[in-house]
Amino acid sequence: MRQLLVALLLCLPLAGCEGDFGQGIFVTPAVNKERPIVNPPLKDRQKNWVGNQREGSCVWASTITLLRWQGRYNTAERIRRKYGNGEWPDDWAKKMEKEGLRYVTWSFLSELVALDEVQPLLSWAERTW
């Protein structure tokens, strides 16, 4: 569970999100090697779904994918049945705490943070689990 947030952030593109998230286009540099290695098998990847409030569930799809990647299939299934729809960072954190799941998070709305600026946080998260 020590890499949940790190992996969540890296897996978000696997689940996908639909919606209008602004007009900016961000290009990330090519990476030769995954760091940390997060490459869940296709069978463990949860596809995004539309929840009962007609919102995409990309945050939950990513969370479920990471729980499966960690071998926590029962927890992933419970989360899948219980949650869905869009999620704000603070609300997601409260639900993670309610479920007894450890996590590390940060959020930014209007700024692009370079990976080298985030790396100390990711390294700290890995060391403290």
State the pLDDT at residue 39: 82
Residue 28 has pLDDT above 70, yes or no: no
- The number of distinct structural domains making up the chain is 1
Structural domain boundaries enclosing 8: 4-127
Residue 128 has pLDDT above 50, yes or no: yes
State the pLDDT at residue 38: 76
pTM of the model: 0.60
Residue 13 has pLDDT above 70, yes or no: no
- Tell me how long the chain is: 129
- Encoding tokens for residue 15? 């689940």
Q: What is the mean pLDDT of the chain?
A: 77
Per-residue pLDDT reduced to its tens digit, 41-86 = 899 999 999 988 999 999 999 999 999 999 999 999 999 999 999 9
Helix (H, G, I), strand (E, B) or coil at 123: helix
